[in-house]
Structure 1
Amino acid sequence: MESILSDEPSESRAVVEARLLHEAQRFATALLVDSVHRDPALSDAPAELRDFMVVTLRHYHDEQESLLWPQLISTDPAAAFWLVELSAEHDALDLALDRLGAVPLQDGEGRTELAAATATVRDLLHAHLEHEESLLFPALAAQVSDAAWTEFATASAGPGGRLTWWCVPVPG
């Protein structure tokens, strides 16, 4: 199995934690697609995973744009150009998340629509993360100290602490 962590001992905490989070997002979206195809009765599991993904991906993008992007722009104003691209991808993902969240799941209805919507979110997210990582990881490594990353992660989490910021509670 390929490691998601780099063998580079000098890799920054921001890059390591962002990479870990991105891999969790990739896995969760792939799992959601798989669960839709494996669960003919559409039990609560796909609905719960869907709701979790919709809420957490939105939260993650909101926190990046409101807290991390300004920090990156303050240290490198030219970053604004590529951050606009990433924000546009977030907008496209938000639209796909809206469609995914709106699929009815009562009594097995919406199965075809759910399969299509989950695949769209997965495909958009995976492509976005590949693009984001090519731009964001070098910027994180060069511009975001471990202390600044800890501050961002803590602010994103609220009272829960570091790295819980992507595991927000899903409304029941």
Structure 2
Amino acid sequence: MDREHVAPARPYGQAAADLTRVRVAHRAILADIERLAGLLAALAAAAEPAEPARAEAIAGYVHRYNDVVRGHHREDEILWPVVLDAVPDAAEAMAGIVRFIADHEALDALRADCDAVAARFAAEPDRHAGRLAGLLAAQRDLLAAHLEAEEEHVLPVIAGQVPAAAYAAAQARIRGADRSADPAWSRAWLLSHATEEEARRLLPAGAGPPAVLEPQLRAYAAEASAVFAG
């Protein structure tokens, strides 16, 4: 999609869609794949393998991260039709979406390989750290290019042309169709990458995470510390 076709002004009086969730998700996805790839590269180069408990924790984190990213990409099944309805040049928009679908297929294959190697890494970290590091680096590079294109070409369409009510309805359908293996982990993971203002937008309570979420946030923080701090 060319920039000149992407984001004409919204009709007067039309509220802008709230893109907080997708922007925080993109930030979280990129930040975590960067630190996972860096962690495994360091472990692959280390003289001693990761301790068994840490290797198992890392593998579990990789599995949960991959599941979250799969869920983010499944959102497109619901969101793309909403975007297409709002774009005057549907043929041009569809050409761009075909590219994103191809990216998703490549990422699905990488994540499947990554999950398989992570399971082997948990059992034999000395043998599989290098392979897992390579797969995570490949996933990082493809995700960075994919999300950069989405930020440049898709989000401006949503911000400029998709009515807020239509976008909010799509987001509600996405939440209803959530098939993540561990929704509590996914929620805590997302909130860990949000500012206080973003967290207020993401949670219906408004003033900050409700008390029921605080144990989940603490559990996620402890897990991330064990994985990344060692």
User: How far off is 1:67 after superposition?
Assistant: 0.2
For each residue in 1:73-107, what CA deviation from the matched residue of structure 2 results, as whole angstroms up to 9, or x when unmatched? 12222321211111111111111111111102213
Q: 2:100 aligns with which of 66, 69, 86?
A: 86
The one of the two structures with greater contact order (alpha-carbon pairs below 8 A, sep at least 6) is 2
Give TM-score scaled by structure 2 length: 0.60
Match of 1:4 in 2: none
Paired residues in the alignment total 155
Match of 2:62 in 1: 50
Q: How far, CA to CA, are the matches of 1:57 and 1:50 in structure 2?
A: 11
Cα RMSD for the two superposed structures: 2.7
Match of 1:36 among 26, 31, 40: 40
Q: Which ranges of structure 2 fall in alignment gaps of 5 or more residues?
A: 1-14, 44-48, 189-230
Amino acid at match of 1:96: L
Relative to the length of structure 1, the TM-score reads 0.78
Query: For 2:41 and 2:146, how far apart are their aligned partners in 1?
Result: 24
How far apart, in 2, do the equivalents of 1:152 and 1:166 lie?
23
**Contact 1:60–1:166 (Cα < 8 Å) also in 2:** no
The structure-2 alpha-carbon separation of the partners of 1:15 and 1:115, relative to structure 1 and needing over 3 Å to count, comes to same
SS in structure 2 at match of 1:43: helix
- Partner Cα separation in structure 2 for residue 159 and residue 116 of structure 1: 32
Question: What is residue 167 of structure 2 aligned with on the other side?
Answer: 149
Report runs of 4+ in structure 1 exceeding 6 Å deviation: none
Cα distance in 1 for partners of 2:176, 2:143 equals: 25
Task: Tell me the alpha carbon deviations over residues 79-138 of structure 1, each in whole angstroms, 9 at most, x when there is no partner.
Answer: 212111111111111111111111022131311110101111111101111111111111
Q: Whole-Å Cα distance in 1 between the matches of residues 66 and 84 of structure 2? A: 27
Aligned residue type for 2:186 = C
**Alignment-derived partner of residue 26 in structure 1:** 30
- Cα contact 2:17–2:158 (8 A) shared by 1: no
Query: What amino acid sits opposite 2:82 in the alignment?
Result: Q
Point out where structure 1 has 5 or more consecutive residues left out of the alignment: 1-10
**Structure 2 partner of 1:96:** 110
Paired residues of 1:93 and 1:124 also in contact (CA < 8 A): yes
Superposed displacement of residue 168, structure 1: 7.4
- Aligned-residue identity in percent: 29
